[in-house]
Amino acid sequence: MPSTRLLAVSGILAPLFYLIATALTVWFRPEYSLVSDSVSQLANLDEPFAILFILVGAVPVGLLAVVFTYAVWTVLPDNTAMLAGIVLLAHEGFGIIFAFGVFPRSGPSPGIMHIGAGIYAIACGVAARMLLARPLQQLGRFYLPLTMTVAIAVPVLILGVARLSSMPGLYERIAHGLVLGWMAAVAVSILLHPETETETETD
């Protein structure tokens, strides 16, 4: 069985894949605006290099997010709320894969399936963090306010501010940055956690 330490690295790799895919796609699409154009436009099949963002960014990020949930599960105490949070956190990753890999945007409108998968990912992520906020205090007291802040801020930014603003891309990326930054912070804490070292030696 892969060690918890190895699986936790997925939480650090996910932001890197997102940044690399965004940078590469924007490099080939100089007309694209990181501020005024939505993230789904990078995966718009009607636009050039959309497949680059999908295969290098969105799908790997979703897969890494699913793998990351196992690492989180191994270091938290078993209880019903924690297990429900872990399942929902994994489904956030599946939602990302479906929103961009299975039902990517095609044309001027995002499409009902793309929107639905995106909302599903957001809802699962919000519920997961609310359930995991207290258990994550085992890794550090600051994880309760941090996790709750991310849980609340993400839907507000993506479903509220971004839709009402002329800068949807900016606010969507802030929301994505909060999620990916949270993943990286939790991953680093898992890597440094004493119980992780013990489990790795046992494996």
Residues 9-26, mean pLDDT to the nearest whole number: 97
Average pLDDT of span 7-15: 96
Q: Rounded to two decimals, what is the model's pTM?
A: 0.91
DSSP string, 81-106: HHHHHHHHHHHHHHHHHIIIIIS---
Residues 103 and 110: their CA atoms lie apart, in Å, by 9
Sequence-distant (≥ 6) Cβ neighbours of residue 113 within 8 angstroms: 102, 103
Helix axes 80-97, 59-75, angle to 10 degrees: 170
Confidence of residue 6 (pLDDT cuts 50, 70, 90): confident
The whole-number pLDDT of residue 194 equals 64
Nearest to 136 by CA among 82, 93, 84: 82
Tokens for 154?
A: 């993400």
- CB-based contact 111:84 (threshold 8 Å): no
Q: Is pLDDT at 67 greater than 90 in this prediction?
A: yes
Domain spans of the chain?
Answer: 4-193
